[in-house]
Copies of this chain bind each other. A is one copy, B any other.
Amino acid sequence: MSSFSDRLAQLVEKRGTPVLVGLDPRWERLPQDFIRDIESGDPVAQAIAVQRFCHGVIDVVAPLVAAVKPQLAFFEQLGPAGMQALADVIRYAHQQGLLVILDGKRNDIGSTAAGYADAYLGATSAWGGDALTVSPYLGEDSLQPFVDVAVQRDAGIFVLVKTSNPGGGDFQDLVADGETVYRRVAHRVEALAAKTASDCGYGAVGAVVGATYPEQLAELRKLMPHAWLLVPGFGAQGAAAADVVDAFDEKGLGAVINASRSIIFAHNRPEFRDRFRHDQWQQAVELATREMIEQLS
């Protein structure tokens, strides 16, 4: 198997788009078809409904994009049955040819970090993601076990550098010795990315950089020439195509742009609500995906 980084580069080029579809199956927003199972209060029925919904999204987006990004919180919210559904959704996405980036923002100190890396990327992982998002607050020695497992397993990690939320700056934007905390994190990420770079020029370690801060996105693209950028914040969070143009290298590679709600819950968007019946939610997903691909092309 080739490295995660090369596989991502190949699939992004093959599909001709950097769009990444976030699977955030908030149970309270699922289309009407799923309501009965959700309202049953039975966690197994709820988890199966979420699983069916994710399959439905995957069926639509698999021919169009390179990867999906399940948000672990919404599977954990459904308990152990939700975690079983997550395993099934990952398997199904792989069968349909998609890469799977697990959004779990995990971390802990050394040997516990190794436990998380093993849980989500390891050889005997029940989930077996292609990549995992990781939080940097505990420092570089907490990142290393994830890097080790990622390299062994041809997987990847994306370290939070600059997040897309309004409060993201509270600690990330603090300036120490003339440099922001997020730049300090970025330097470490770049070092790890350069050390693990494969054929495509990017490494096993990437960075999460919000689309809602276009200037920092440009700054961070330059600062981390070997790091894939995972860019959330497009769509429902307000960022548009012009905001993410600087995330890419001169070949148009090096970044994947995530949208979650605006794609998977497209049937709820005001401009789509009158165009699609509730049982046509997959058509709304397809149109939203195609529109985003068009906007970013």
Across the interface, which residues of B come within 8 angstroms of A112, CB to CB?
24, 71, 73-74
Cα of A35 to Cα of B10 in the assembled complex, Å = 43
Does B141 contact A74, Cβ atoms closer than 8 Å?
Answer: no
For window 101-127 of chain A, which residues contact chain B by CB distance below 8 Å?
103, 105-113, 115-116, 118-120, 122, 124-127
Does B73 contact A171, Cβ atoms closer than 8 Å?
Answer: no
Tell whether A118 pairs with B188 under 8 Å between CB atoms, given A43-B126, A107-B135: no
Does B115 contact A26, Cβ atoms closer than 8 Å?
Answer: yes
In the complex, what residue of chain B is closest to A168 when comparing beta carbons?
A: B139
Q: Say yes or no: is A274 at the interface (Cβ < 8 Å to chain B).
A: no
Does A109 contact B165, Cβ atoms closer than 8 Å?
Answer: yes
How big is the A interface, by class? 35 or more
Across the interface, which residues of B come within 8 angstroms of A127, CB to CB?
79
Cα of A116 to Cα of B105 in the assembled complex, Å = 11
Does B87 contact A80, Cβ atoms closer than 8 Å?
Answer: yes
Across the interface, which residues of B come within 8 angstroms of A169, CB to CB?
139
Q: Say yes or no: is A185 at the interface (Cβ < 8 Å to chain B).
A: yes
Q: Say yes or no: is A194 at the interface (Cβ < 8 Å to chain B).
A: no
Q: Say yes or no: is A249 at the interface (Cβ < 8 Å to chain B).
A: no
Cβ-defined partner of A177 (8 Å) among B41, B160, B175, B181: B175
Does B172 contact A175, Cβ atoms closer than 8 Å?
Answer: no
Q: Say yes or no: is A136 at the interface (Cβ < 8 Å to chain B).
A: yes
A15–chain B nearest beta-carbon distance, Å:
26
Q: Say yes or no: is A198 at the interface (Cβ < 8 Å to chain B).
A: no
A188–chain B nearest beta-carbon distance, Å:
7
Q: Say yes or no: is A167 at the interface (Cβ < 8 Å to chain B).
A: yes
Give 14 A-B contacts (CB < 8 Å), ordered by A residue: A26-B111, A73-B119, A77-B118, A79-B119, A135-B135, A135-B137, A137-B171, A139-B167, A139-B172, A141-B170, A142-B167, A175-B177, A176-B176, A181-B181
Please give the residue numbers on chain A whose beta carbons come within 8 Å of chain B beta carbons, in ascending order: 24, 26, 41, 43, 71, 73-74, 76-81, 83-84, 87, 103, 105-113, 115-116, 118-120, 122, 124-127, 135-142, 160, 163-172, 174-177, 181, 184-185, 188
